[in-house]
Amino acid sequence: MISVQAEDFDPGEELERLRSGLAGRAGAVVSFTGLVRDLNQGDAIGRLTLEHYPGMTEKALAGIEAEAMQRWELIDSVIIHRVGPLSPNDRIVFVAAASAHRKAAFRACEFMIDTLKTRAPFWKKEATADGARWLSPADNTLPGQAG
Amino acid sequence: MISVQAEDFDPGEELERLRSGLAGRAGAVVSFTGLVRDLNQGDAIGRLTLEHYPGMTEKALAGIEAEAMQRWELIDSVIIHRVGPLSPNDRIVFVAAASAHRKAAFRACEFMIDTLKTRAPFWKKEATADGARWLSPADNTLPGQAG
Amino acid sequence: MVQLRYFASLRETLGVSDEAVALPEAVVTVAGLQRWLQERGAPWRDALADDHLLVAVNQEVSDRQAAVNDGDEIAWFPPVTGG
Amino acid sequence: MVQLRYFASLRETLGVSDEAVALPEAVVTVAGLQRWLQERGAPWRDALADDHLLVAVNQEVSDRQAAVNDGDEIAWFPPVTGG
């Protein structure tokens, strides 16, 4: 299941939905939740805006999920990514993989978030004291960004 | 936070409790949920009973968590393990790691569940058509067991 | 006609998010399209000269040698920063 | 006196989950305790001969050379299968 959405999501609900569908076929569910980090602690600044490429985004996420499902023989998986304005500590992204074996679930979950970060057409713009700026991929692993 | 308990837990609540405490300091939360797999699909059999060593179990889990917290500079973490009778698809174990960086969160979460499986004093007894039997570590990665 | 789209910082620099254009017959690849758009002058010339820019043809990331055909959707954007 | 504990399949084989015993003076290590318990005969002799059995002294997994002292809690159990 993939979703690109402005509204927040509930990781617990996603994990429970995954589990209910497994019917005892999976032993391991691994999830990644990405949160907005707060560069400017105590400061009102630090909002992010997520732009994306509607249509291509969904295609890219579906492709990443399909590759993981096939490569690690997953039983189920989820990718959710938010767009629009976000504040520090907000959830940005959720990725989960359900498998019979925990190693497969870890590898698949990590593959999905790693690949999303390099292939899915999202862009982060950050409000700072000096005005707004677009992040570069190098910034994107630094404070202010998810994971 | 570690907990050894008979009652079920709510992964969503744990993830939300983790997130609330982060206050923008972490970008990445990785979780592992272990479920009881169903060896005997369609059969009423397949219950597990988890025995443990009260006192030592808590010490072992606290030691594993402390090692992960220190080694990967985690911001927060959780280990919950259930004991007593469990049915197929029930949650057995939940492990989560919150970090500024996703690689650290993945490595720490995987370390905690891997180490728990070899060091924490839990034992699984399975009800089968031929009666109850104690699982061996080799069985413990096969169907019937979590991940 | 092809549909052109621009995202993120590139969209802001160019001041346009999308446009439908009729390609000259000589433009048959992404590289050709790039040169043709750069002939519009500033800010196009410099903005599209950035080697890090990505191009997607019909929503698939493509290289500069990829063909462009009538009816295609061709998007230009900086490296992605999601997740 | 030491407190002895037995878990899982070992507990079932021996039919005892815990006991307080006074150690003879000659028993000063886990290995010595093991031999002394095996002298009880069946089912102790065979059950404790299993090399895969683990021993925890005061709730820390220990090897057979570890010292045992008055007041210790010494637990015997098969390889763990949690998670």
Which tens digits make up the pLDDT trace of B86-108?
999 999 999 999 999 999 999 99
**Contact residues, chain B to chain A, C-beta under 8 Å:** 10-13, 15-16, 19, 22-38, 41, 46, 88-89, 91, 99-102, 105-106, 109-110, 113, 141, 143, 145-147
Would you call the peptide bond into A137 cis, given omega within 30 degrees of 0 as the criterion? no
- Please indicate whether, in this complex, the C-beta atoms of D9 and B134 are within 8 angstroms of each other: yes
Say yes or no: D8 contacts chain B, CB-CB below 8 A. Answer: yes
User: Is residue A39 pLDDT above 70, yes or no?
Assistant: no
In terms of C-beta density within 10 A (0-12 exposed, 13-18 middle, 19 or more buried), how is residue C65 classed?
exposed
Taking the CA of residue A71 and the nearest CA in chain B, the distance in Å comes to 17
Which tens digits make up the pLDDT trace of A97-127?
999 999 999 999 999 999 999 999 999 999 8
- Please indicate whether, in this complex, the C-beta atoms of A34 and C83 are within 8 angstroms of each other: yes
Return the structure tokens found at A20: 């209910």
**Rounded to 5 degrees, what angle do the CA atoms D69, D71, D77 make?**
80
Lowest mean pLDDT of A36-40, B7-11, C51-55, name the range.
A36-40
Q: What is the pLDDT of residue B110?
A: 98
Q: What is the pLDDT of residue D60?
A: 96
Distance CA C50, CA D22 (A): 82
Across the interface, of A13, A91, A105, the residue whose CB is closest to B147 is A105
ipTM above 0.90, yes or no: yes
Across the interface, of A16, A37, A145, the residue whose CB is closest to B12 is A16
Cβ–Cβ < 8 Å for A116, A101: no
Would you call the peptide bond into C43 cis, given omega within 30 degrees of 0 as the criterion? yes
Q: What is the mean pLDDT of each run of 10 residues along chain C (83 residues)?
A: 98 98 97 98 96 96 97 98 95
User: Is residue B143 pLDDT above 70, yes or no?
Assistant: no
Chain A residues touching C79 at Cβ < 8 A:
136-137
User: Is residue A41 pLDDT above 50, yes or no?
Assistant: no
Residue of A nearest to B107 (CA): A106
Which tens digits make up the pLDDT trace of B22-80?
888 889 999 999 999 886 544 555 789 999 999 999 999 999 999 999 999 999 999 99
- Please indicate whether, in this complex, the C-beta atoms of C82 and A121 are within 8 angstroms of each other: yes
